[in-house]
Structure 1
Amino acid sequence: MSKSHLSRTQKFLTLKTNSVANEHTNALIHETSPYLLQHAHNPVNWEAWGPKVLERAQREDKLLIISIGYAACHWCHVMEKECFENEDVAQVMNGHFINIKIDREERPDVDQIYMDAIQMISGQGGWPLNIVALPDGRPFWGGTYLPKEGWTNVLQQLAGLYKNDKDRVVQYAADLANGLHAINLVEPSKDTELFSLEQLEDAVQNWSGHFDTFLGGHKRAPKFMMPNHWDFLLHYATNNNKPELLEFVDTTLTRMAYGGIYDHVGGGFSRYAVDIKWHVPHFEKMLYDNGQLTSLYAKAYAATKNETYKAVVEGTIAFVKEELMGESGGFYSSLDADSLDGNGELEEGAFYVWTKEELIGLLGTDFDIFQDYYNINSYGLWEEENYVLIRDKSDVEIAKKHGISVSDLKKRMKNALSFLKKERNKRPKPRLDDKILTSWNGLMLKGLVDAFRYIGHKAYLELALQNAEFLEREMIKEDFSLYRNHKNGKSTINAFLEDYVTVIEAFLALYEITFDEKWLNLGKKLLDHTRLHFFDGDSGMFFYTSDKDQSLIRRSIETNDNVISSSNSIMAINLFKMDKIFPEEGYGHLAKQMLKNVQKDFLRSAHGFSNWLHLVLFYHLDFYEIAIVGEDYEAMGMEIGKRYVPNSFLAGCPKEGRIELLKNRYVKDKTLAYVCIEGACKLPVETLEDVWKEVLLPLE
């Protein structure tokens, strides 16, 4: 860890320790998660999740409080301050319950189950997620943030209910557990046909009723960025000549890039916007958002050559490298929404916002242009005289108004932002969650790969290789199972399906830009491990947890695409692509059955299955396997890879290849490209122009 990151973590933990005078220390002091360590000096007798705690609860017949959150969660901090640091509240919790704290980012398997439970109980969810469960872990009550009085009243009532009417509580928990199993069942489909292109058009048409065509995204607040939504729509619009959809994607990506949700000063995206115009963010910055958005904007740049998209990719990677990259090559998880304000109090967004007086004093004669460019006016005002920078006009419009050239405008704004960044760095920085999660690193690795592929900066490839080598060195075990978590030089927690599929996806993409079979073979080893230990033969899907891990209330099967695409949808796409390279393994049959199992829901809820929808296009439109063989294979591969062709896979080698797609292709003194569909290859060609003719793309 760099000294700056270390000092920020130490400073926060020192503040926490001093705030309670170190009067209490619980079992969380032995954990590595920054979120769990934040609670290590609460008077509550917190324990980490594990089989020994559950065994003790059953032995003592004590109810469980299972409290789930994460380090960058604002309301988690609020509830800690109001409830978990309070001696009276702790007395109630310690007297009647065994108290378990969980970092949802470390244990998404546990979080999934209890989030489903609270949604069944109350119809809504969120974090902090607080569950009261039987000693065996079956839940019967759930809530999110509660103030002190509400929390203690609920706990006293539940403790009394369990003491006086235990049979009723047990029956309710049993019914809820049955419901948790039922909502997660996936039946193997007997459909003979795949979801058609005509059905897909109807599904997207239904979905489009929710589009905000003026401000982008969906017609609601808060606004989430949902990278897999716009990624699919970009693919669909470009492959099917849908200019109105491409315009919507462009509006969405432009508004997000212009909005306060993007950090114009330091780069990178916050979690979501609380308003409809992408202006005021929930200020936490998560690695998984920034990894996916790097990939999305790089693809969008390749498809449109919009320079704004390129700038977003460059700014986001610069932020991740500066703030979230460890010396080991792994990426940390997040920056908190909260930081210390001028009064030394934790406040959401304190690090990021500006007053008009500050900006006038700092920018001098450039303030007039800056205030137009970033709306230091009623449009950009947040609260309490604080402004969040937001754009709503193009460079051309602003330059024309001020009578300067676009290049001069860009130079002046770049200088102003650089100066503001130096000033902002004098403020106390947001708290850092410095655990390294495998799946989120997989998403960031894929973002770096796509950035190099479509923009071409060699530094992005170097970062990608550093990260890939970190994953290989620290997170992959000898049997090709994975760890989930890495902290302080130590890898812990067995990985989940999400970890495997994101790393496989990233390794496949890394192979396409390096043609180094090491990454392809590593991806295949990981894929075969999941097939052995995660596959459910009854449903044809993959469980979220391995058969080698402790059994929970259920083994979840994740199918719905959310902020991160579902692990099964990523797996199905991985299987589809691996089948093109290793056709003898039967991967393609698995992918097709998985698609059939979920396609019944596409027409009703296309947005909830957006990543799956890529497969509909892959199966119904030509999918190109492009093999490049000969001395100049790397240079030709780079040029071909720059084009946005989502329905393709690249393979290459200098001479005779070892994978099926590259065998018997070499011709001495020539570099040839073979465009294949379903393993059937057209005649080899020697020029890029001829490749694009084969792929039915216009010449550039």
Structure 2
Amino acid sequence: MNELINANSPYLLQHSENPVHWKMWRTEVLEEAKKSDKLLIISIGYAACHWCHVMEKECFENDDVASVMNTDYISIKIDREEQPEVDAIYMKALQIMTGQGGWPLNIVALPDGRPVWGATYVNKRQWTEVLTQLQQLYKSDTAKMYEYADRLHEGMKVLGNVNAHVEPDLSFSIEQLVSKWQRSFDLEYGGYARSPKFMMPTNLDFLQAYGTLTNNNELLNHIDTTLTRMAWGGLFDTLHGGFSRYSVDEKWHIPHFEKMLYDNAQLLKTYADAYKRTNYPLYKQVLQKTISFITDEFQDSSGGFYSALDADSLDKKNILKEGAYYTWRKDALKDLLKEDFELFSKVYNINEFGHWEDGEYVLIQNKPLKDLAQHYSIPVEELEIKKRKWEQKLFSERKKRAYPRLDDKILTSWNALLLSGMIHANSVLKNEAIEKTIFKLEHFIHNVLTNENFELGHAYKNNKVYIDGLMEDYAFVIQANIDLYSYYGKEEYLLNAKKFSNIAFDLFYDESQNCFRAHQKNPALIMDHFDIEDNVIPASNSIMTNNLLLLNSIDYNPHYHKSALKMLENIIHTIDYASAFSHWLLAYLKTKDTFKMITVGSNLYKKNMETLRNKYLPNTLLLYKELENSPKIEVCSSNKCILLNDFNELLDMISIK
């Protein structure tokens, strides 16, 4: 009766032995609910979600709870990463009902799928009481529940209407938005002055670009504080690399230990840009370690990359525990490090600052190595060598522990994000092995995740694509092809970007909204979803707006240009809190005089192109392609282009010395 045994998703498979009669999300199940006149339970989570595991153990593995669910409800389990459009629609409902969101996302809905109740984690007693009460209400006062569902559904549709997003503010000022934004900054630890603390690379990318373009040192200092503190440990796995999803505290110390591909993919670009801007060695080390982690732990033999590592792993008592793989006890560290322990404890704060709970420590630096070396009268080079040896020793010891569970499905959108991130990272690292990985990943996306009609799939496992492509897949694959074209200059990448763009218009564009739906037309959905707000992953529509503006700059296309400007106009004057629209602001910058497209002819490529690629040039598109009568340099801005024959003229023009 539990049909999840046939699923591909590791999250769904985790629930396949529950006594609950779980169904998978599909139109036939919704039709079954209507025919049997049963309420729906729609429970959404993901494999690396700690509280999803807790609720499963307390509720869904319990026979008494399962009896209530199986008797009175049709229960559907969904992996939010497989079907983000379904998750987004019901998350909107939860936020209207409760003012908050999160996972697990549990919705009770009418047989037609419209929600009437929602919550995140609830314990066994609360869950059974709510389900019993809702079933009794449905039997005794069905009309009341339908009336509530009608009102909630109308509210969801109003909020989902892109054209009615917010009343436009015609006095839009990017300077005022950034000024307001800065009030939320944590000036000591970076990021935002709150916890939990998410890294938000889309925010960091805009703030770094805008700070550089406007010579705003206050913004750039905040970026460097944030990136340095994030890289000093806790949130960042200093032993093997890779960032966890977020920190539960304000100092980036105690992570919610799951590691997601999409975070690490995006941060490759963020740290590459920061290294080009500052030449700070720590940023380069982060790039090296992060790529090492991703390729060691996530790379499939096909060339694609897995999705996530769980927060939980088995401890010494063989019990699943959050963070068990990553934390250390003081006595174990003393045994491993012996006479070096005292110095190690100063570097990595085996003290009150680094203590987590129950005698467990999470390694975190809080001072630059040069300051520590000076304080303890050690040459900084010697301390750096010691630090590398400590990390290698602890990593070898840690590998003896039970490893966190792996979510081994492959998602097109996240792999495309990684492809872009690796291109940017390798412009710093210039590593032949990384370049081979880039080409292998591009080949996988183009030849495995793309069908004969040039349509993308969304999810891949067991040698098959098993979910059709979503708008986010197209947006990020197009972005990756533009990055490939910019870096390698091969015409095929530009052609691919255009083909995917045209298909995206055919499959997703809604002229009434001047926007792309997040999904193809689907009768199982209670409403269309338009992905607008930039979150931990940028919105597919903001990415697509940037894509269309760049494609129009490369090869004039009035349809692309007009569509991008319509989408931008729809959103830009409605922005109140800029942090949720940072990629829209990056698109806005592409419409201004500061945007430049620099095309370098082939004869100058080997000698001079790396000079440009080694510098941080925000709001600039670098291209290499054949130009007539090469050597030539073409600089285009504000619909005007000039030709240069001397590379030093270009360096003077863009203020590179």
TM-score (norm 2): 0.97
Equivalent residue, structure 2, for 1:691: 650
Q: Residues 418 and 195 of structure 1: is their aligned pair in 2 closer, same or farther, counting only changes over 3 Å?
A: farther
Give the Cα–Cα distance (whole angstroms) in 1 for the partners of residues 96 and 602 of structure 2: 59
Residue 666 (1) aligns with residue 639 (2):
no
Equivalent residue, structure 1, for 2:585: 613
Amino acid at match of 2:482: L
Residue 140 (1) aligns with residue 98 (2):
no
> Per-residue deviation at 1:584?
3.0
Give deviations 1:597-649, integer Å, cap 9, x for gaps. Answer: 112233x2111111111123222233222122234535533332222112222
Size of the aligned set, in residue pairs, is 657
Give the secondary-structure state (helix, strand or coil) at the position aligned to 1:379.
coil
Residue 226 (1) aligns with residue 190 (2):
no
Indicate if the aligned counterparts of 2:42 and 2:108 stay in contact, CA closer than 8 A: yes
Indicate if the aligned counterparts of 2:12 and 2:79 stay in contact, CA closer than 8 A: yes
Equivalent residue, structure 1, for 2:36: 60
Equivalent residue, structure 2, for 1:661: none
> Per-residue deviation at 1:195?
7.3
TM-score (norm 1): 0.91
Residue 581 (1) aligns with residue 540 (2):
no
> Per-residue deviation at 1:686?
3.8
Indicate if the aligned counterparts of 1:224 and 1:271 stay in contact, CA closer than 8 A: yes
Give the Cα–Cα distance (whole angstroms) in 2 for the partners of residues 189 and 487 of structure 1: 37
Residue 518 (1) aligns with residue 492 (2):
yes
Give the secondary-structure state (helix, strand or coil) at the position aligned to 2:103.
coil
Amino acid at match of 1:376: I
Amino acid at match of 2:465: S
Pick from 83, 87, 90: which aligns with 1:107?
83
Q: Residues 573 and 65 of structure 1: is their aligned pair in 2 closer, same or farther, counting only changes over 3 Å?
A: same
Unaligned runs of 5+ in 1: 1-24, 656-664
Pick from 469, 481, 484: which aligns with 2:455?
481
Q: Residues 147 and 66 of structure 1: is their aligned pair in 2 closer, same or farther, counting only changes over 3 Å?
A: same
Indicate if the aligned counterparts of 1:92 and 1:156 stay in contact, CA closer than 8 A: yes
Equivalent residue, structure 1, for 2:563: 590
Q: Superposition pairs for residues 268-347 of structure 1, below 5 Å?
A: 268-347=242-321
Amino acid at match of 2:107: I
> Per-residue deviation at 1:546?
1.9
Indicate if the aligned counterparts of 1:67 and 1:131 stay in contact, CA closer than 8 A: yes
Give deviations 1:519-546, integer Å, cap 9, x for gaps. Answer: 2211111111111221111221111112
Indicate if the aligned counterparts of 1:73 and 1:337 stay in contact, CA closer than 8 A: yes
Pick from 672, 677, 680: which aligns with 2:640?
680
Indicate if the aligned counterparts of 1:580 and 1:678 stay in contact, CA closer than 8 A: no
Pick from 408, 429, 445: which aligns with 2:382?
408
Residue 46 (1) aligns with residue 22 (2):
yes
Indicate if the aligned counterparts of 1:579 and 1:587 stay in contact, CA closer than 8 A: yes
Give deviations 1:315-350, integer Å, cap 9, x for gaps. Answer: 111100001111111110000000000000000000
Give the secondary-structure state (helix, strand or coil) at the position aligned to 1:619.
coil
Equivalent residue, structure 2, for 1:16: none
Residue 454 (1) aligns with residue 394 (2):
no
Unaligned runs of 5+ in 2: none
Residue 623 (1) aligns with residue 598 (2):
no
Pick from 367, 387, 394: which aligns with 2:368?
394
Equivalent residue, structure 2, for 1:429: 403
Give the secondary-structure state (helix, strand or coil) at the position aligned to 2:139.
helix
Give deviations 1:646-690, integer Å, cap 9, x for gaps. Answer: 22222223x4xxxxxxxxx322xx532221224532132242x32
Give the Cα–Cα distance (whole angstroms) in 2 for the partners of residues 194 and 600 of structure 1: 6
Residue 571 (1) aligns with residue 544 (2):
yes
Give deviations 1:544-575, integer Å, cap 9, x for gaps. Answer: 1124x445111111211111111111110001
Equivalent residue, structure 2, for 1:662: none
Give the Cα–Cα distance (whole angstroms) in 1 for the partners of residues 584 and 166 of structure 2: 18
Pick from 544, 554, 559: which aligns with 2:527?
554
> Per-residue deviation at 1:188?
8.0
Indicate if the aligned counterparts of 2:450 and 2:457 stay in contact, CA closer than 8 A: yes
Indicate if the aligned counterparts of 2:168 and 2:573 stay in contact, CA closer than 8 A: no
Give the secondary-structure state (helix, strand or coil) at the position aligned to 1:102.
strand
Residue 246 (1) aligns with residue 220 (2):
yes
Equivalent residue, structure 2, for 1:17: none
Indicate if the aligned counterparts of 1:215 and 1:276 stay in contact, CA closer than 8 A: yes
Q: Residues 277 and 185 of structure 1: is their aligned pair in 2 closer, same or farther, counting only changes over 3 Å?
A: same
Give the Cα–Cα distance (whole angstroms) in 2 for the partners of residues 369 and 510 of structure 1: 45
Give the Cα–Cα distance (whole angstroms) in 1 for the partners of residues 90 and 352 of structure 2: 42
Give the Cα–Cα distance (whole angstroms) in 1 for the partners of residues 557 and 192 of structure 2: 43
Give the secondary-structure state (helix, strand or coil) at the position aligned to 1:612.
helix
Q: Superposition pairs for residues 349-360 of structure 1, below 5 Å?
A: 349-360=323-334
Equivalent residue, structure 2, for 1:86: 62
In percent, how many aligned pairs have the same letter?
45
Q: Residues 432 and 190 of structure 1: is their aligned pair in 2 closer, same or farther, counting only changes over 3 Å?
A: closer
Give the Cα–Cα distance (whole angstroms) in 2 for the partners of residues 134 and 550 of structure 1: 16
Pick from 618, 635, 647: which aligns with 1:646?
618
Over aligned residues, Cα RMSD in angstroms? 1.7
Indicate if the aligned counterparts of 2:30 and 2:524 stay in contact, CA closer than 8 A: no
Give deviations 1:354-382, integer Å, cap 9, x for gaps. Answer: 01111110012221221111111111011
Q: Superposition pairs for residues 14-29 of structure 1, below 5 Å?
A: 26-29=2-5
Amino acid at match of 2:179: Q
Equivalent residue, structure 2, for 1:130: 106
Indicate if the aligned counterparts of 1:336 and 1:433 stay in contact, CA closer than 8 A: yes
Give the Cα–Cα distance (whole angstroms) in 2 for the partners of residues 496 and 584 of structure 1: 24
Give the secondary-structure state (helix, strand or coil) at the position aligned to 2:448.
helix
Residue 633 (1) aligns with residue 591 (2):
no
Give the Cα–Cα distance (whole angstroms) in 1 for the partners of residues 31 and 544 of structure 2: 34
